[in-house]
Amino acid sequence: MDTATLLRHIVNLQRANRELVSEANREVAAAVAVFNELVRMLDGSPVWLIEMDTPRDDERVCRDATNLCPLALTPADVAAMTPEHVSRVIPRLCEYLRTEECFGATNQLCAILECRGAELLSFPQLRLTWRRIRALLESLMECDATACEHESVSGALQLMESLAI
């Protein structure tokens, strides 16, 4: 099994896991609502009521997406994330540029820059990370790779230049 197939299977498993967790959360919330209603109907003490502190849906999406492998993020995940969450993904993505997943990481970097690049300029804590990414991409340009892979790396470097990163 090649790495692309393995990564696709991992992404599918993560997606299925998120769906199951989401379904379980809905069931727990429904059970809590029934319990609270029964307590109220029986004139029970408010102490018996269970508070459900549920984060807003966009916070949950950001938290779930941040915990995903950076290579598994979809454009929808990136679009739903706040710039702060995206800024936490970039250093993790940088680590993948040093592995055999480097060209997949390059493609993901391009997708993130196209979607959120301008917003990431305001994060000074990413300056060193951007320098590392640029150096890693430049070293990838010198390695033996297919024309498509070189084009992907070149595209990422051009995106970084156009955003003045």
Residue 102 · residue 96 · CB < 8 Å: yes
Residue 50 and residue 64 share a domain = no
Last residue of a domain, one of 9, 31, 54: 54
Spatial distance between the Cα atoms of 63 and 45, rounded to a whole number of angstroms: 35
pLDDT category, 85, cuts 50, 70, 90?
Answer: confident
Residue 66 and residue 46 share a domain = no
| pLDDT exceeds cutoff 70 at 56 | no
Residue 140 and residue 67 share a domain = yes
Residue 61 and residue 17 share a domain = no
Q: How many domains does the chain have?
A: 2
Residue 151 and residue 76 share a domain = yes
Residue 150 and residue 104 share a domain = yes
pTM of the model: 0.57
Residue 144 and residue 83 share a domain = yes
Instruction: Determine the pLDDT at residue 137.
Output: 92
Residue 17 and residue 29 share a domain = yes
Instruction: Determine the pLDDT at residue 68.
Output: 66
Last residue of a domain, one of 54, 69, 98: 54
| pLDDT exceeds cutoff 70 at 99 | yes
Q: Classify 132 as helix, strand or coil.
A: helix
Residue 144 and residue 95 share a domain = yes
> Distances from the Cα of 86 to the Cαs of 4, 99, 100, 105, 143, in angstroms?
23, 21, 23, 14, 28
Residue 27 and residue 65 share a domain = no
Q: Residue 131 is which amino acid? A: R
| pLDDT exceeds cutoff 70 at 146 | yes
Instruction: Determine the pLDDT at residue 138.
Output: 92
Task: Give me the DSSP letters along 75-123.
Answer: HHHHHHS-HHHHHHHHHHHHHHTTSTTHHHHHHHHHHHHHHHHHHHTT-
For 13, what's the count of Cα atoms within 13 Å in the CB-facing half-sphere?
7
Residue 128 and residue 48 share a domain = no
Instruction: Determine the pLDDT at residue 64.
Output: 52
**In the chain, what is the straight-line distance between the N-terminal and C-terminal CA atoms, in Å?**
37
Residue 84 and residue 41 share a domain = no
pLDDT category, 120, cuts 50, 70, 90?
Answer: confident
Which structural domain range is residue 25 located in?
1-54
What average pLDDT does this structure show over 50-70?
59
Instruction: Determine the pLDDT at residue 154.
Output: 92
